[in-house]
Amino acid sequence: MKIIALSTSPSRNRNSDTMLDNFIIGMNKVAGIEVEKIYLEDIPIDFYNYENSTGPALHEEKFRDLIGKIENSDGLVIATPTYNFSVPARLKNFIDRIRFLALDLTKHNKFGQPVGKLSYLRTYFIVSGGTPNWAETILFFAFPSFWLRGVFLYFDAKVLGAFYTGNIKAFEDKVILDKCIKKGERYANMVKNKKGNSILERIFWRAPQV
Ligand SMILES: Cc1cc2nc3c(=O)[nH]c(=O)nc-3n(C[C@H](O)[C@H](O)[C@H](O)COP(=O)(O)O)c2cc1C
């Protein structure tokens, strides 16, 4: 089974990127799982507009390759920092651009919204921030883990969990990095066993009827 590990911070080898590396160490412990790490900044992607809404433009070869890889993957892990209560612009634009991959615009649910197409994809989110963990727990709605989980549920992907740390030195914190290894192994086992949504999603989320 294939898992794409997408590192989206502009700062390599810092917090979310190092957390992802350790998550990958954990995933690689699971037999039968093949992980590919990709830096989003290595993939030039134009900003979304109506013209490019149906797929990659001719000159966006690397973006087209990435789309093909996601289509042939069982899992997608996104590692991101928190920027202004949200994600870095590059990740936001990537999510805007994959609309054609993620949504069937010809079908609508009872709210008139397009129907998600990513039911084959099991997702996990690794998030770094500068806000302490206790404050993130209270203000969870102002952080990328909450937003990303919501977006990928809207895309009908399976959401298997998220891990946040507010330690701005996470890249050298052995306790956090060891946790990432364990969570990576657990996630890869869940992908292998084709697990559904995590407990939070099962309690709070009902997909609107088509
Ligand atoms: C432009 C910018 C905006 C930020 N906004 C937030 C924020 O809204 N909330 C927060 O908790 N941390 C914020 N931070 C702190 C980063 O999320 C934090 O330093 C994080 O660990 C960086 O992760 P990275 O090393 O993976 O890039 C911001 C940092 C920058 C550079």
CATH number at 162 reads 3.40.50.360
| Average pLDDT value for the chain | 96
Query: How far, in Å, CA of 81 to CA of 88, rounded?
Result: 7
* 160 within a domain of the structure (yes/no): yes
Query: How far, in Å, CA of 142 to CA of 150, rounded?
Result: 12
Structural contact between residues 119 and 140, judged by C-beta atoms closer than 8 angstroms: no
Domain count of the fold of the chain = 1
87 CA distance to ligand 1 centroid (A)?
Answer: 9
* 210 within a domain of the structure (yes/no): no
State yes or no: pLDDT of 54 exceeds 90.
yes
Two tokens, residue 156: 């009908």
Q: Which domain holds residue 131?
A: 2-204
What pLDDT is stored for residue 206 in this prediction?
78
Q: Which of 83, 85, 139 to mutate to test the pocket of ligand 1 (most atoms within 8 A of CB)?
A: 83
* 56 within a domain of the structure (yes/no): yes
Does residue 196's CB lie within 6 angstroms of at least one atom of ligand 1?
no
Does residue 81's CB lie within 6 angstroms of at least one atom of ligand 1?
yes
* 209 within a domain of the structure (yes/no): no
pLDDT digits (tens, 9 = 90+) for 148-182: 999 999 999 999 999 999 999 999 999 999 999 99
* 172 within a domain of the structure (yes/no): yes
pLDDT digits (tens, 9 = 90+) for 25-46: 999 999 999 999 999 999 999 9
